[in-house]
Amino acid sequence: MPKKWNATKDGQVPKTNKPAPKVWTAILLYPDYATDDFGADIYVECATCDDPMIAAYIVRGKAFDANGGVDGIINDPEDFRIIAVMAGEITLELDATHF
């Protein structure tokens, strides 16, 4: 019978071929019906996962929830337009609504 790996006993993490999850920052555009500043109002959030496309969908869900979910102003998470997904955690300092 093969020996089972025990993280506490062996004191190390087993090696895998799978890359570690990565942090992604997604920029989403609010739908035109949800804002007076269409084209300027964005939602920026990070997600940790293996794929930038999955990160975009995770952030869409976060944006939907942040705006009240099913009882909020956004009809569907897919109403948020994905503008960009960037590798790393990026902090938004200013957006178009600041000018």
Q: Where are the alpha helices (DSSP H) in 1-99?
A: 7-10, 52-66
Give per-residue pLDDT as tens, 29-74: 999 999 887 778 999 999 999 999 999 999 999 999 999 998 998 9
Please state the rounded mean pLDDT for residues 61-89: 94
Sheet holding 42-49, edge to edge: 42-49, 22-29, 81-87
Query: Quick one: pLDDT at residue 6?
Result: 47
- 2, pLDDT greater than 60: no
In a domain, 12, yes or no: no
- 95, pLDDT greater than 70: yes
In a domain, 75, yes or no: yes
In a domain, 14, yes or no: no
| DSSP secondary structure letter of residue 77 | G
* Overall domain count for the chain: 1
Give per-residue pLDDT as tens, 9-18: 555 555 666 6
pTM of the model: 0.76
In a domain, 72, yes or no: yes
> Domain range for residue 60?
20-98
In a domain, 15, yes or no: no
CATH number of the structural domain spanning residue 56: 3.10.20
In a domain, 4, yes or no: no
* Integer Cα distance of 50 and 22 in angstroms: 6
Tokens standing for residue 78: 């897919």
Query: Quick one: pLDDT at residue 24?
Result: 97
